[in-house]
Chain A
Amino acid sequence: MNYFSLAAALILPWITGIFTLASLQRSNSKNNHSILAGQIGYGFFIGYLILYGLIRLSFNLTGNLELKWVMGALVSLSLLALLVIRYRRKGHFSYPTLTNTSNPSVWEKVAFTTLIILTATHLVFNLLETIWTPLLPWDAFSAWTHVAKVWFYTGELTDFVPAAQWLAQPDSPAYTSHAYNYPIFSSLMQLWTAVGLGSWSETLINLPQLLCGLAIGMALFSECRQQGASRLISLSVCYLFLSIPLINTHLSLGGYADIWLAGFTGLGFVKLITGLKEQQPIAITGGLLLIATATLIKNEGLIWFLLALLTTAIFQLSSRQLLTTLALTSAAILACLLLETTSLELGTLGRVGYFEGKIFAPNMPGLTFQYHNVWPAYFKNFFLMGSWNLLWLLVFTSLVTALIPPYTPTKKLVTTFVLIFLAGQFFIFFLTDQARWAEKYTALNRLPLHFSPALIYACFLLWHDQLKLKTEKQATSNELHNS
């Protein structure tokens, strides 16, 4: 086992991502720690996305995963990004002004230190469990990690096919698994880690997932600071995410792809929400792109991307435009029904639409359209059990608060996002046969996990906005009174 090579394999993509992101941003300040935290957080996902591309390229060009070639490419990209950063620093750009840089009180310092200790405690727990406990969860050893292990030992990106095809082609080198059509990002990251280590490890292959959680925390910290929150409040948001029991479990017992989706989808929505709030097209585009890449990780990534488009459309369009869009969509659906054409065959992507009582989406099996009463399962899991701490109390209280007038753009944004998220969950688990996974308490918790960073961030935005508004109103009132 080569631990130095392992460390390089884990950190190099991250560094490449940080430098790439920094080279794309308009300004860089050595003194702006919050922006740096954001570059570290988001840079992790950009870097590992680049890594994914390089690994696929390596297999396509050479038939193998060439560690040195990929590492060399990462180093080259990092150096190129550094050159761009250096070139842009010679030009004119502005250092962003960070609000709320007042000296914290003693109590704030105590609270900040306490939260640092608590957050670190959670991460240390996650790290030790990752190192000690061999691969445990079901879908890890039966699907995701099994695929990575086969690729590691065969040295090739061997195909996985359905069982019927495996039986019909005895001379084919293809393998079979119920996960034959799963996206391969998560498995490739485990493969990469094993190749970096130089041997297969039941524990260390899950280190990237631990880093994923850390990166999400840093990105959340950065986003909150950019919104003007104090270091204490920003760290609180980071701590809220990293202390969720289910998040802790996914960081400790690696092998599932859900924590990756919490990064790509969750942070994608965070960036999207920020972009919509600040009306920044670049942030909106960045968020949508990040969410779009989630399709490389799990099949439901496509549905999350559609929800992101819906969120953007509802928030950006005026009421008139929304009504027009709704009318046109209704007309299109009516036309399909009249023409008796409610689905399309898209070749390798499969069927899309409604066909023989089932709803079809690209690369996904048909879902039987039928109502299931899974309210008891939802209520129990969200409010009575130990998976989420008090997250759902926070979300629903925030939603109720957002629905109380006066309505601000932030309230509209938070309401839109949360309601669309809930609508997505309702559609999947109440209206289709996926309800069985809710009744078994499995996907019912793991799918909302993908949105958890954005849900926490949305709640933060709402309360931060409310507190800011009241403080500003009070200040204005005092000024008027004094004058």
Chain B
Amino acid sequence: MKPVAIRVINLLLALIIGALLSLEVVTAYLESSINEKTEIKPLHFTEDNLKFLLNQGEVKNNSFSVHAFTNGLAVISSGQINLSAKNYPFLKYSLNSNSTVQPTFFARTAGNPNTLMRAALPDNRAGIIDLGTQPQWAGQIIEVGFLFEGKQGDSFELKLASLEKASLKNHWRLLINQWLKFEPWSQYSINFSWGGAKYQATPLPLVVTIWIVFSTLTFVFLNKLSSQPWHQNRPAILIIFACGWLLLDARWLFNATTQMNASQQTYAGLNETQKLAKGLDAHIFTGMQKLKQTVLPQTPVKIILLSDPETQLYYALRARYHLAPHNVYSTHQLPAKKQLHTGQYILVIGELAGFSYNRFRSEITWKSNTRIQATRVHRGDYGQLFLLQ
């Protein structure tokens, strides 16, 4: 057989053996976290052990269909039960819905009966949640159920829901879900990517690295067995590395495709104004557009923008951005009185502790000791706008 053919066979064998070995390592690690060996049967949710609290849906073939909401909520509950949390660390389910709001699994424990433990069901399809990572899922569980937030027209179908024990199959299923969890664009995307779920029992890059190491060692060994020259290892090592890179790239492209579909559904075909009106700060954008078009002068004016830095900073900076070219200074403290001037505007985004306005006296009070004469010229979902007098 030609030396090249031998090396190709060795390479393929090395990749396969490396994959098997790395899977074995991961399996051993997952098994080490399974303490109980006793036989525990899954607790399947059926019409016998889970009921609608207010007749907000129907059960057919153990499939729960939700189509009515009271004050925006529908609840399915087990009522009083008694089960040990450590026996059932996994929740499996299958979900269909036409809503973007995720249903929540809830539970109450004997140790803290007045507090609801909640876990969002992240996937609008079949999924599995590791309840064991929730600190509140401990001790004796006295009630479980599902919460659905919705409005008229929304519908949910929950089926095949069950609580299950810690098994190797469930751990693997959870791990794969963690690797493939969709990571949409967010404020942290520009800084880093989790590569799936934030928490992964065994991160995929680590597993791929182990695969590369095992495959490389196996290839070197097989090459030595078949008396291949040592220097022929290097191209193969690069190919093994390339396989690892391609696998992780496939995961990224899978996420990218989902993201692309989401972006297309949200933004494709819309003009600039329509796109901005769909963002997280839609109410801020709409408010600032209204201010620019109908309240503020056409020539840029100076605006002091106040906001709570803990809860409103994002909206405040978005407001400043949308208000351009108005000259905006964003802060969380009202400047000293001597630094304020007639004709300046004060824009308050959201609620701000220490800030109040008396419309009868046309007076802003700041932290009980500073009073400033100002007229409120506009009020909206974004907050309030004042003109200093």
Contact = CB atoms under 8 A, between A and B. Distances in A.
B331 A153 contact: no
Contact of A384 (B203, B231, B246): B203
Contacts of A133: 185, 263, 267
B113 interface: no
A381 B192 contact: yes
B329 A202 contact: no
B360 interface: no
B238 A149 contact: no
Contacts of B325: 149-150, 152-154
The 6 A-B pairs of least Cβ separation, nearest first, read A386-B195, A153-B325, A470-B231, A386-B193, A137-B190, A384-B203
Given A153-B324, A393-B209, A138 B190 contact: yes
Interface in A384-404: 384-387, 389-390, 393-394
Interface string A147-173: 001101110000000010011101001
A283 to B, nearest CB: 26
27 contacts: A125-B257, A129-B259, A129-B263, A132-B263, A134-B272, A137-B190, A146-B320, A146-B321, A153-B324, A170-B302, A176-B329, A202-B275, A203-B275, A245-B195, A246-B192, A248-B252, A248-B256, A384-B203, A385-B192, A385-B194, A385-B205, A386-B193, A389-B245, A389-B252, A393-B209, A394-B241, A446-B190
A255 to B, nearest CB: 8
Contact of A150 (B196, B272, B324): B324
A243 interface: yes
Interface size class of B (residues with CB under 8 A): 35 or more
Contacts, number: 172
A442 B189 CA distance: 10
Most buried by A among B206, B234, B327, B341: B327
A408 interface: no
B297 interface: no
A122 B254 CA distance: 11
Given A137-B190, A466-B234, A168 B339 contact: yes
Contacts of B266: 132
B190 A253 contact: yes
Given A133-B185, A141-B321, 8 more contacts: A132-B267, A138-B187, A138-B190, A150-B325, A387-B192, A445-B191, A463-B234, A467-B235
Contact of A390 (B185, B191, B241, B253): B241
A170 B341 contact: yes
A69 interface: no
B189 A253 contact: yes
A441 B251 CA distance: 22
B192 A441 contact: yes
B256 A386 contact: no
A390 B193 contact: no
B249 A389 contact: yes
B112 interface: no
Interface string A113-137: 0000010011001001100111111
Interface residues of A, number: 70
Given A170-B302, A383-B206, A249 B188 contact: no
A444 B191 CA distance: 8
A43 B6 CA distance: 45
B242 A236 contact: yes
Contact of A445 (B192, B275, B335): B192
A168 B234 CA distance: 66
B329 A167 contact: yes
A364 B253 CA distance: 38
A256 B190 contact: yes
A249 B321 contact: no
B244 interface: yes
Interface in B206-243: 206, 208-209, 212, 229, 231, 234-235, 238, 241-242
Given A150-B325, A474-B229, A442 B238 contact: no
Interface string B159-202: 00000000000000000000000010101111111111000000
A132 B234 CA distance: 43
Contacts of A129: 259-260, 263
Contact of A386 (B191, B194, B263): B194
Contacts of A150: 324-325
A249 B190 contact: yes
A250 interface: yes
Given A168-B339, A175-B327, A250 B193 contact: no
Centre residue among B191, B229, B318, B328 by max chain A CB count within 10 A: B191
Contact of B206 (A132, A142, A154, A384): A384
Nearest to A146: B321
Nearest to B314: A138
Contacts of A440: 191
